[in-house]
Chains A and B, each alone.
Chain A
Amino acid sequence: MTRKSSRIFEINKCHSWVLLILVFSIVPLHAATPRVARDLQVWYIFDAEKGDTIQDRSGVGKPLDLKIEKPSAVQWKKDLLVVRSSTKIRSSTPATKLINAVKRSGSITVEAWVKPANVGQKGPARIVSISSNSSQRNVTLGQDGKKYEVRLRTTGTSTNGIPAIISPNNAAKTALTHIVYTRDVSGTARFFVNGKQQSSKKVTGKLSNWSKDFRLLLANEMTGDRPWLGEYHLVAVYSRALTVKEIAQNFRAGATSKLSKEESKESLAASRARHVFETQVAPLIAQNCLDCHDSASKKGRLDLSRKVTALAGGESGKVIVPGKASESLLWDQIESGDMPPKGALTNQQKKILKEWIDNGAVWSIDVIDPAVYEHDSRASDVWVQRLTISEYIETVRSSVGVDISKEARELLPPDLRADGFSNTAYNLNVDLKHVEIYARLAEIIVDRMDVLKFASRFSKSKKLSTDATMRQFVASMGKWLLRGPLDEREVTIYSGIATTVASTGGDYKEAVRYLIEAMLQSPRFIYRIENQRGDGTAWPVGDFELASRMSYIIWGGPPDQELNRAAEAGELHDEKALEKQLRRMLQDPRAVERSLLFISEWLNLDRMHNLSPDRKRFPKWDDALADDMREETRAFFKEVVWQQKRPLADLLNAQVTYATPRLAVHYGIKPKGSGLQRYDLSAVPARGGLLTQGSVLTVGGDDASMVTRGLFVLHGILRGAVKDPPPGLDTTPVPSKPGLSQRHIAEQRIANTACAGCHVKFEPLAFGLEKFDGLGAFHNKDEHGNQLRDDGEILFPGAAKAIPYKTSSELMNLLAGSSRVQKSITWKVTQFALGRPLVAADARVIDQIHEAARKNGGTYSDLVIAIVKSDLVHKTRTEAK
């Protein structure tokens, strides 16, 4: 007999054999079945055996412990609590974390393993409740004689949660019973007893009217007049409707607390160890050890970048002995200060490493990728996002139908690039000029609007009033302009403008005019305001917040009416409905425009406007070519991503491009037609893919520097990292001369042991581009008559061995086929979508995003869908109040 079955035997041996048989017949005994953990908010397992406190074991946020008001009314038994007479078991504070999470998700699961003392208790007698008295509640699971009953407050039910969902008669028995209530975001409520659905019902409305002040109660109402008597074995609440499968899983896992608790402890410890490794140890190793001990350098034959090789050790044998820092060579070297050679670690860093080894040296990722730790955790601070200039323009256009692009681009201070993109939230600061121009633009926008026609969308009345009609109008128009419902405070603030207009003898049109002007300058228009307060953990975003995230990621503009409708209906937290919306949105031309902004930012195409090559050296250069090159890349991207719908990595080797006749001549291709024309490059072996386009080839400057180009590929395409030049090296670029091409110079650098360690990581990446000069023209010989080459080898970050290539096109194929490149593109698109640099804590989710997108085809649309579906978009990291 398993531990679990023996325990159930114990539970029941004091009862009749009939009951024992019944329990065995309804509880399948899969001792190892784990409980569902995702979106768990509170979890009680009644194993204290004494005292008046029941601890919240969820491990989520701040524990919501419960206090037994009258300990004499209860009796502790092994892994259960018997409530013998009327008492109250309640949280000492409002159930904030639970209430917030459920309100945000619009869905809930209440689960309990209980054994009623009798089938006569009524009220319903409160088993689990979040309420304040007999008529005010958020949710209550109760027993009413032989039935169970659940009352849920929504905007469609009363504050008492009526109408309730009621189980069939005789569902309540004096036996250990598994009861589950779920209500999903679309309003479907289900009731399960012992893993089987008993009833289902539509409970319409939203949970936005849940009170934030109610406490969590067991065994009674807050007022003490709805006692429930019986045994508590387990109580859990989730901020999500568990699926039928998941309910069956929890049923199979059983009421036993001990087993679950041990599993939970283990999994908690494992998760903690994983967290320590990924957020503290791996960054330390990446920043201090991998310069010499990665797969490529491997000094002393020790590769610390990979789990397998690190644990295997180097030429001195094992360097990490899990559990024993004192026997680990790694610790010995670090403690003594011999490693890292550039300077000892701080005491705190040493402590982290020692504790990690002593705690078992848990190594939870296969490869430590230094690029993951490029930004420290501060870079992931939650910054409110101000609309960028392009987002502002699109938001104005979508919201009020006015094209303000010319004035906005001319007047607003430019958004500067930070960490590769100009939508990086922390850098979107605001100056007096912004405030001045927002005000001026608001005036211009309203001047161009048909104010009365616009207002008629929100109100039939055209009378300037200061009463409820005006408030309703403000609320309705504000909901559209400010991308979500207004609260009373906001309605009052903005209605005040109408009052002022009225008091100065103005009319309805004038009032609307000033109202719109104010809203166009308000924080909720200029910024993407979201709730960022909570308990320090990640919380699900609200419906309208999610809608805005989706629309700004995909369109760079606000939600449209359909998306707002879906948000209002709570559909966006439903996976199928969400996917439907995403597919719809990706069909919109704005999605194409947004993606073009991405490529423009990623490759910094705007720099082409400033290209100013040495005229003596390039007498044939025509400034118009710079624009042609920019347009080439945009048109190429559009074709590969949107017309051919190919995986994003194909951008590196697609055999097609677009060029003006002028650019075609510059490239040495026979020109055709006028304007931007499509060229099939199958027969042009030297060209094909982003890296062979002028917009990218010009990054190396007039000299087509191998170092600059190589570093661009390393950082921009491969997300690689490289350290500073070693001491004593003259970093002045060496010019080509007869008999000495840039390739020779690069090879000399690589042959120099002082340079090789780093230069081998990036210069060969540019070897394949040597035949392109600093402006992207193709030559077989340089200006000194040196023969140019395009063969070389590429060392992917993290790889041990370089892969040779014979031609430029082979290099492009290697890049396009590389999982490293594919993942790098995922990182870039994700960073642009989120508007912030990515940090180590994001790495796991990005892996999931990448995998999901790859499985679906790896196209831009697949990737965007995976990003939006991920926790990086569905959740927001909160700050504790």
Chain B
Amino acid sequence: MKIHKIPRRMMLKSLGTATVGLPLLEEMLVSRVSAAPAQAVPVRAFNVFFGLGIPAPLQTEGFDGVLEPLKPLGDKLLIMRNVDQVRCDEKGINAHYDGATGAFTAEPPDGEAKSGGPSIDQVVRKAHYPKGLPKGMVSTLVGGTFFRRSRVGRYVHSYNQDGTVAATMQEKPRALFDRVFGSISMSGDNTDVRRKRLKLSVLDSVVDDYKFYTGANSPLGSASKARVADHLDRIREFEQRAFALKQKDPNAPNLPPRSKILHGGPADPGGMGVDITLEELTTEWRLMADLYALAIQMDRVRFGSLTFLAAGERIRLKGDYKYNGKKLWQFDDAGQQKASGDRGCSHEWWHKFDEKKKNEALRAHAHMKMREVAYFLQRLNDSDSKEVNGKTILENSLITISTESGDGRHNNVKRELSGVFHAITGANGRFKTGQIMDVGAEGIDVYNTMLKGMEVKDQLGPAKRKTNAVDSIRA
């Protein structure tokens, strides 16, 4: 398996390999100290989403079953069973989609590309950084790999207050890298001070004009104003990257390799699915995980979401699946299902789940996804992730891991949206860890308890709804 791990150390002390014209931002190199007070651990919140889910009966097996890959991190996670997302069901829409949009928002979707409310990470961001994140930071990073583009709510997992996506999805490693670490290449000679001044003057004028539309005298309504404010934030980021740089860093890291898997429209040929090997899939996933983790370690990102979506969608996976050196399964979705097209795709295993049977293929897929999620989490738990309080980023951040269903058979909404797998990190001692807990609560109450634990006043869901605090999860 070709995994290109990019450690933070390499970013900082690159050995002088070929540079690719993507200079590091000056503040990136020192951002850990410049962006936050020296002794403070910043508030961070991320949503990690994986497709389809783990059927509730399999969750009861704990680390002996498909959750095995999470075991090494078990003391830093609170695994929650019996979380009910039934309220996210929207009539007439496949519950997969409802569950996917409901993950981290606890609200049914509001249209194809909108959630019914904000996601946890964004509510925390708003509360802890009401005036925005420190200069030059990416306000929200949404990344992930997925197939079948049909509904945005399936793959984006950070939502603004108004339910719109909090940031554009970066679906290729290079795009994510560029979003976080890329600078803006200006045409012409960047050393021409006069030209730079004129360009800045243009930008200043544009910024002034955008400011007006976000201000008190703006003619725009609140939704539009928020959109333009978002635009203004991006301009400021653009300004920072295009003009605030000094020299290009000669030790800049290599641009990540070009993605070898299909993306966008070609990844969804009429819903019929695509063929992909395990190596192709996990190489891509790990590269994304590396880059995302690096972005967090470099303190370029404090909020956002990462999506691992494959089996829930339309792929026909092939390849030997090994864990800890032992071959657990041979993926061959189409062959094992004796079907081609969409009927040969891995999501069919979820449709066919039967708790009285072995469900071997489903187990292998779920186990593999847990292995990949654990890989990402582990990246935030390594030596590069130690923070001033002696804990790792994984321990200090609020990382919420969830999925779309508690049962893949979408013919019983109640069953499908009950028992939806959830796991959270301790958020710097705010929540219990090292347990697998049967919370027996609605997702909305779990989320709102989490928000409370994060010292956030705002709550998810209808204003009048009475919150049933799930205090058992708080430390």
Contacts and interface: CB of A to CB of B under 8 A. Distances in A.
Nearest to B138: A432
B209 A497 contact: no
Contacts of A613: 269-270, 272
Nearest to B208: A493
A588 interface: no
Interface of B: 91-95, 110-114, 149, 152, 162-165, 167-168, 179, 184, 187, 194, 197-198, 201-206, 208-210, 212-213, 218-224, 227-228, 230-231, 234-235, 237-238, 242, 264-266, 268-272, 274, 339-343, 348, 351-352, 409-413, 415
Interface string A709-727: 0000000000001111111
Contact of A610 (B234, B269, B342, B410): B269
B187 A701 contact: no
Contact of B224 (A433, A489, A518, A532): A532
Given A504-B197, A723-B91, A698 B228 contact: no
Contacts of B187: 440, 443
Interface string A721-738: 111111111111101000
B198 A610 contact: no
B198 A702 contact: no
A287 interface: yes
Contacts of B202: 497, 514, 517-518, 521
B228 A382 contact: no
Contacts of B272: 612-614, 701-702
Contacts of A612: 266, 269-270, 272, 274
A699 B340 CA distance: 17
A442 to B, nearest CB: 8
Contact of B111 (A375, A607, A708): A375
Nearest to A436: B184
Interface in A496-531: 496-497, 500-501, 504, 506, 510, 514, 517-518, 521-524, 526-527, 529-531
Contact of B163 (A378, A440, A730, A733): A378
B269 A418 contact: no
Most chain B beta-carbon contacts within 10 A, residue among A426, A490, A616, A702: A426
B238 A878 contact: no
B334 to A, nearest CB: 10
Contacts of A439: 184, 203, 238, 242
Contacts of A533: 218-221
Contact of A514 (B152, B198, B410): B198
A617 B351 CA distance: 25
A431 B234 contact: yes
Interface of A: 287, 374-376, 378-379, 381-384, 386, 413-414, 416-420, 424, 426-427, 429-436, 439-440, 443, 489-490, 493-494, 496-497, 500-501, 504, 506, 510, 514, 517-518, 521-524, 526-527, 529-533, 606-607, 609-614, 616-617, 698-699, 701-703, 708, 721-733, 735, 837, 878-879
A-B complex: 5 closest residue pairs judged by Cβ atoms:
A612-B269, A418-B113, A384-B224, A431-B168, A532-B221
Contacts of A721: 92
A351 to B, nearest CB: 13
Contact of A430 (B92, B227, B341): B227
Given A436-B184, A607-B265, A426 B201 contact: no
11 contacts: A379-B110, A383-B227, A416-B149, A418-B152, A522-B206, A610-B268, A699-B270, A701-B271, A701-B342, A724-B93, A733-B342
Contacts of B409: 731
A732 B224 contact: no
B38 to A, nearest CB: 29
A504 B194 contact: yes
Contacts of A523: 209-210, 213, 228, 231
Most A Cβ at <10 Å: residue of B203, B227, B230, B274: B227
Contacts of B165: 427, 429
A736 B412 CA distance: 26
Contact of B112 (A381, A419, A443): A419
B333 to A, nearest CB: 13
Nearest to A878: B221
A420 B150 CA distance: 10
Which of A524, A532, A614, A729: most chain B CB closer than 10 A? A532
A448 B325 CA distance: 60
A444 to B, nearest CB: 9
B198 A529 contact: no
B269 A489 contact: no
Contacts of A379: 110-111, 114
A728 B409 CA distance: 9
A514 B198 CA distance: 8
Given A384-B223, A418-B114, A500-B197, 6 more contacts: A383-B223, A384-B227, A435-B235, A436-B184, A724-B410, A731-B410
Contacts of B268: 610
Residue among B223, B264, B270, B352 with most chain A CB within 10 A? B270
B389 to A, nearest CB: 32
A416 B113 contact: yes
Contacts of B93: 724
Nearest to A734: B343
Contact of B219 (A426, A531, A722): A531
Contacts of A726: 411
Contacts of B94: 724
Given A429-B165, A517-B202, A614 B341 contact: yes
Contacts of A527: 228
A611 B343 CA distance: 17
A443 B165 CA distance: 29
Given A382-B221, A702-B341, A721-B92, A427 B113 contact: yes
B112 A529 contact: no
Contacts of B348: 732
A610 B265 contact: yes
A384 B228 contact: yes
A522 B209 contact: yes
Contacts of B208: 493
Candidate in B184, B231, B271, B351 with the most chain A CB atoms within 10 angstroms: B231
A434 B162 CA distance: 21
Contacts of A510: 198
A494 B205 contact: yes
Contacts of A702: 272, 340-341
Given A518-B202, A721-B92, A530 B219 contact: yes
Nearest to B117: A378
B59 to A, nearest CB: 21
Contacts of A735: 339, 343
Contacts of B164: 426-427, 429
B231 A430 contact: yes
Nearest to B235: A435
A426 B152 CA distance: 13
Nearest to B415: A727
Contacts of A429: 164-165, 168, 227, 230
B205 A701 contact: no
B198 A500 contact: yes
Contact of A383 (B112, B201, B224, B235): B224
Given A429-B227, A493-B209, A529-B220, A424 B270 contact: no
Contacts of A432: 179, 234, 237-238
A459 B206 CA distance: 23
A613 B340 CA distance: 10
A448 to B, nearest CB: 13
A703 B270 CA distance: 12
A715 to B, nearest CB: 10
